[in-house]
């Protein structure tokens, strides 16, 4: 029987296994999944770096409540392609189409705000703080703004990558049309498991989804002009009033009805009601193990605890550290 244990037991066993694997394979923990990221990495080189980023982020979020969802998604999309190296921030050039221009990233906004936050850090500490760290910290600080406390720990020391390819974004980013098996494979490719998949999906409690990412569930689910039978009929009827046809790529709706700006665990309530907006949301109910985790995350305290742990793991995916990569002066272009 898959996943018969509680989240806390699974987390403990997984962490112990990872530590053992790191020691066996690498000899030390610091070189495994997360490199040499650490607390207060900039303590000597730029003591106020994290405070500068926090202040600049909060000023922007105060004026634009959509930024927490945008930064969270941007950070996620960065980490799933080449690791958390700021590659999603790079602009395309004459000779290269960058991740930014991949279809899944065309609806991400806020790149200009990350550039502004980076510029604030550069004023105080030029050529010291990476764009990858700026993005990781800004995502945490934006989501945490309303709580007035950090919701998860961000270790720092990431370096910026020099490569960004549209093809890699298309190949590695989980799709809203994915079934459970595909999602598990996407996450496993990044060193994350089913637990992380379900927990990080909770990020859909804030932000919006564009009609073209789910309208097939309303109008042509199996290619015969039908509706996804797993979608709550009342909710489907409402969505049809918003998304009039399959070709609408401009209209958007909240991913978590009634909670578009509120970061909480209501997403799991919504999923349980068969009101998950995307096929990838509904997929969490198609496997017994993931269903059990959804049920456990109906407890708000458990959700916040587990989300913090999974975000910390996600933020350490294939990071560049030490002498790898570079520290970009501007986030949208390599030095």
Residue ranges of the binding site for substrate: 174
Per-block average pLDDT, block size 10, for the chain (335 residues)? Answer: 41 44 36 70 97 98 97 98 98 96 95 98 97 98 97 98 97 96 97 98 96 95 94 96 92 91 96 97 98 98 98 97 96 97
Confidence (pLDDT) at 24: 37
Could you list the residue range(s) of the whole structural domain that residue 82 is in? Answer: 48-207+255-315
User: Does residue 18 fall inside a structural domain?
Assistant: no
Whether residue 332 lies inside any domain: the answer is: no
Among the options 33, 60, 75, 77, which is catalytic? 77
Active site residue 77: yes
Q: Is residue 247 part of a domain?
A: no
Residue 11: inside a domain: no
pLDDT at residue 249 in the model: 87
The enclosing domain of 142 has a CATH number of 1.10.520.10
Binding-site annotation: residue ranges for heme b: 204
Question: What's the confidence (pLDDT) of residue 36?
Answer: 84
How far is residue 32's CA from residue 20's CA, in Å, rounded to a whole number? 11
pLDDT for the residue 35: 56
173 domain-assigned: yes
Binding-site positions read 78, 81, 83, 85, 87, 99, 174, 204-205, 256, 264
Distance CA 200, CA 204 (A): 8
Residue 130 located in a structural domain: yes
The answer to whether residue 216 sits within a structural domain is no
Is there a domain that residue 55 lies in?
yes
DSSP 267-302: HHHHHHTT--SSHHHHGGGSSHHHHHHHHHTTSHHH
Residue 1 confidence (pLDDT): 37
Distance of alpha carbon 125 from alpha carbon 43, whole angstroms: 12
Burial 6-43 (b: 16+ CB within 10 A, else e): ebeebbeeeeeebeeebeeeeeeeeebbbbebeeebbe
Number of domains in the chain: 1
Query: Would you give the end-to-end CA distance of the chain in angstroms?
Result: 52
């Amino acid at each position: 029987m898959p996943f018969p244990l509680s989240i806390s037991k699974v987390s403990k066993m997984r962490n112990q296994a990872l530590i053992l694997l790191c020691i066996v394979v690498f000899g030390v923990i610091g070189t495994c999944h997360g490199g040499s990221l650490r607390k207060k990495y900039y303590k000597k080189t730029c003591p106020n770096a994290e405070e500068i980023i926090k202040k600049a982020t909060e000023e922007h979020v105060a004026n634009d409540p959509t930024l927490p969802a945008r930064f969270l998604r941007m950070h996620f999309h960065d980490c799933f392609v080449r690791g958390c190296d700021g590659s999603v921030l790079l602009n395309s050039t004459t000779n290269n189409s960058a991740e930014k221009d991949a279809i899944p990233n065309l609806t991400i906004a806020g790149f200009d705000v990350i550039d502004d936050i980076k510029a604030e850090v550069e004023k105080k500490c030029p050529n010291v703080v990476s764009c990858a760290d700026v993005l990781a910290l800004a995502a945490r600080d934006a989501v945490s703004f309303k709580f007035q406390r950090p919701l998860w720990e961000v270790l720092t020391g990431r370096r910026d990558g020099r490569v960004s390819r549209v093809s890699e974004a298309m190949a590695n980013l989980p799709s809203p049309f994915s079934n459970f098996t595909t999602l598990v494979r996407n996450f496993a490719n990044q060193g994350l498991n089913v637990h992380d998949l379900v927990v990080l999906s909770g990020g859909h409690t804030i932000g919006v989804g564009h009609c073209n990412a789910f309208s097939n569930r309303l109008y042509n689910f199996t290619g015969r002009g039908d509706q996804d039978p797993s979608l709550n009929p009342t909710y489907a009827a409402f969505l049809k009033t918003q998304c009039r046809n399959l070709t609408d790529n401009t209209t958007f709706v909240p991913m978590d009805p009634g909670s578009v700006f509120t970061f909480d665990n209501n997403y799991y309530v919504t999923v349980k009601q068969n009101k998950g907006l995307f096929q990838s949301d509904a997929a969490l109910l198609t496997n017994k193990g993931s269903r059990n985790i959804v049920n456990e995350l109906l407890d708000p305290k458990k959700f916040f605890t587990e989300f913090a742990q999974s975000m910390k793991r996600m933020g350490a995916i294939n990071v560049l550290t030490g002498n790898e990569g570079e520290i970009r002066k501007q986030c949208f272009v390599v030095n």
